[in-house]
Chain A
C-alpha cells in the first residue's frame, strides 16, 4: 500500500497532536506537522503531500494566505485542503472555500470528523 502524506499546519501544539493522533488511525498515512503558514510552505516544497489540514488563524502567515499560495502552485492545484475554523468565523471559512479549500472543520475538533474528511478526500485525490 503506498504511503499517503498529510500536512498539518497549526500553531497550537495541542491541536496538531490531536489531528495527528486521529489521522494515525488511518492505515498507510504519514503526518507531517508545521507550526504556521511559512513553515507549511517549506514542508510543501520539500516533499509531496496528498492532503493538507490548515488552521486559519496563525502567526507569521495565516491559513487563507497559505490556501491561496498552495492553489497557485501547479503541483498542488488539485491537492485537497481542509481548513480549521471556529463556527463563528463564517466569513473566513467562506473566503477559504472561495480560495480553493475543499472542506472545513470547526473547533472543538472531533476525531471522527477528521477521519471522515481524510477518508473522503484521500479517496478522491
Chain B
C-alpha cells in the first residue's frame, strides 16, 4: 500500500508530466505556427517582389519612351541641320562657280582693256582688236570698218578669215552696217545657228563709239566651229570694245597724224636752218 508521501510524489510527477506534455504540445504548436509564418513570409516576399516588378515596369517603359522621343527629336533636328548645311554647301558651290565665271569674265575684260591701251600704233591697235575678237569672243570671220567723215563711207581697215577686198564699202545709214554706224546701236542676228554669211547683214555688228560719236563698226560674219552662240560675257566684251577699241583707234590715229606732222615740221625747220 502506498503511503501518503508516495502518493504525493506520484501526484507531483503526474502533474509535472502533464505540464511537460502541455509544454511539448505548446512547443509543437509554436513550431507549426513558426512554420506557417515562415511560409506566409515567403509568400508575402514573393508577392512583394512580383508587385514591385509589375509596378516598376511601366515607369521604366515610360522613361524609355520619353528618351526615345527625345532621341527621335534630336535625330530630326540633326537631319534638318544636315539638310540645311547641305543646302548651304550647294549654294556655296553654285556661288563659287558663278564667282569663278565672273572672275574669268573680269579677267578677260581687264586683259582686253589693258591690251587695247598698251600701244599708240594704229596697226598694233587693229591687231589687238583682231586678237581679242578671235581669242576672247571666238569669231572666225570678221571685219573692222572705219567711217570716213568726209565721204561718209564705212571701209574695211582690217579683216580676219575674209579678204579685205571682199568687204564692200557701206554708206552711213545704208543696210544693217550703215544703220548700226548711224544709230550707234548694236545688231545681233536673231538665230546665230541659222545665220548665212552676208557682208551687208553681219551676224553681229558693234559700233565703235567715242561718247555719241561713231567712228566705225566691227562686223562679225562667222564664229569658230565650237562656238555655237554668243555667251553673256561676249556682250560685255562687245560693250567694252565699242568704247575702248574706239578710243584706242582714235588715239592711235591722232598720234600717228601728230607724229607725221611733227616729222614734217622738223623737216621744214631743218630745211630752213640749213
Contact = CB atoms under 8 A, between A and B. Distances in A.
A88 B128 contact: no
B105 to A, nearest CB: 9
Contact of B111 (A18, A87, A107, A112): A18
B269 interface: no
Contacts of B107: 18, 21-22, 111
A78 interface: no
Specify the main secondary structure of chain B where it touches its partner.
helix
A110 interface: yes
A87 to B, nearest CB: 4
B235 interface: no
B12 interface: no
Nearest to B116: A14
Interface stretch (B80-88, B134-142, B247-255): B134-142
Contact of B138 (A17, A22, A107): A107
B224 A107 contact: yes
A32 interface: no
Nearest to B100: A112
Interface residues of B, number: 24
A76 B172 CA distance: 57
19 contacts: A12-B135, A13-B118, A14-B111, A14-B112, A15-B131, A17-B111, A17-B115, A18-B111, A18-B136, A21-B111, A22-B107, A87-B224, A88-B225, A106-B224, A106-B226, A107-B134, A107-B138, A108-B138, A111-B107
Interface of B: 100, 103-104, 107-108, 110-112, 114-115, 118, 128, 131-132, 134-138, 140, 224-227
Given A12-B135, A18-B136, A108-B227, 20 more contacts: A12-B131, A14-B115, A14-B131, A14-B136, A17-B115, A18-B107, A21-B107, A21-B110, A86-B224, A87-B224, A87-B226, A88-B225, A106-B226, A107-B134, A107-B135, A107-B224, A108-B135, A111-B107, A111-B108, A112-B104
Interface of A: 12-15, 17-18, 21-22, 86-88, 106-112
Nearest first, the 3 A-B pairs at minimum CB distance are: A108-B138, A87-B226, A111-B104
